[in-house]
Structure 1
Amino acid sequence: MMRALVIDDEPLARAGVLARLRQCPDIDVVAEYGDGPAALAGIRDARPDLVFLDVDMPGLNGLDVLAALPPAERPLAVLLTAYEQFAVQAFALDVVDYLLKPVEDERFAEAVARTRQAWRFRHQAPEAAQRHGGYLSRFTVRYGSRLVFVDAGDVDWIDAAGDYATLHAAGREYLVRTPLHRLAESLDPAAFVRVHRSAIVRLDRVAELRTLGNRDAVLRLRDGTPLRASRTYIDALLAALERQRTAA
């Protein structure tokens, strides 16, 4: 089920959106707001899947609210406005749809259908991944309207980014909307191992391991990247490195 916020400074407009959403059993409206600053705080706090967001509001307009959020933290957004001139800015922020007031029922239903499709895309597990032999073999990362494909074999290491994760591959970074713990379960353990609660490393990228007095360790990857391995994961890491050595 999608968790949604309805944000509009006009109470009647808000009521109209709420009435329509009550007919959508897969959308749960968790809060409503009447100005931009409150909406921004509400999005950061509630982390909704979806917002229906007015453009012209006091304090911060709807576009300012979305722009204030890092791309990875922006919910799916349907903008509501009486003005057409904001459309270019809106789609630069990757909104799902842009509805002109007064909104017709058919047009609203079309916007909801688009949000459902976009939500399903975001929640393919993991990250629209392609699998080989039961393990993750490729990521599909979305950049606005573009899709970028990253082979798992090109990934050097992965670190946590809140509820998401960042792939580090050939000097570039790719944000995926999948928690690190889910990636750890999906990657081939013969190739990848978790070394910290916030990091996964590809074993054949490890060039050096230096143990510390508290049973932690410092890894150096082939590209020079230093990573800390915590005592919680050190035994599994050493065993995986030994298996890789004997298999070579």
Structure 2
Amino acid sequence: MMRVAIIDDEPLARSGVRARLEERRGIEVVADFADGLAALEGIPQCRPDLVLIDIEMPGMDGLKVLSALKPEERPMAILLTAYDQFALQAFSLDVVDYLLKPIDDDRFEEALERAHRALPYRRPSLAGAPKETYTQMFTVRVGAKQVFVRTVDISWIEADGDYAVLHAAGKRFMVRESLQRLAGQLDPAEFVRVHRSAIVRISQLSEMRCLSNQDALLRLQDGTPLRASRTYIRQLRALLDKPATYS
């Protein structure tokens, strides 16, 4: 069970996030706070594993709250913000993701999934938990036969109605799976969601051109053009700025 606290000065925002969380198993909402000072006092008492915290609050903003907490008291954090330029300031403060307001349902699910994956390594009692393994091969039915598609061969994945299309080794393979579920099966150090309908292997990116509306145009090594939406672009940039560890 993951213990979660909500920190936002807007009552409607707090109630909206609480309603989303209470629909999900494996999550216990242990507190909500209407300002940064109350959160700073309350977090060491209720000891949440994760906080969903607004960046822009009067008095003490979300980043100052996280900075003021002792490292051993600081929970994982998902930032809530209407201003994405603040997000990259916080990746040294145990921030696992950030969500732009108004909150997108797919991104909300994705952020919680990241927190769940990180939980065993953040909670001391679970420090000895085994390292999570990710899908190494997909089994795809093509006519009367089964084809095995290695994850290492996948360059990108696109949504197609109720299916997802794996682009691997110059071929297309359809699987009856949502992009959201596939994202949870893939190593986040190697794959990143760039759009509601697309996931790419980071090592396959060759170009990125930013647009005036904060979207970006991407080009893969095989020449495939893709669009990265504003919802996902900051997360993509943060991954690209990290030292490369993927293959």
How high is the TM-score relative to the length of structure 1? 0.50
Q: Which has the larger radius of gyration?
A: 1
How high is the TM-score relative to the length of structure 2? 0.50
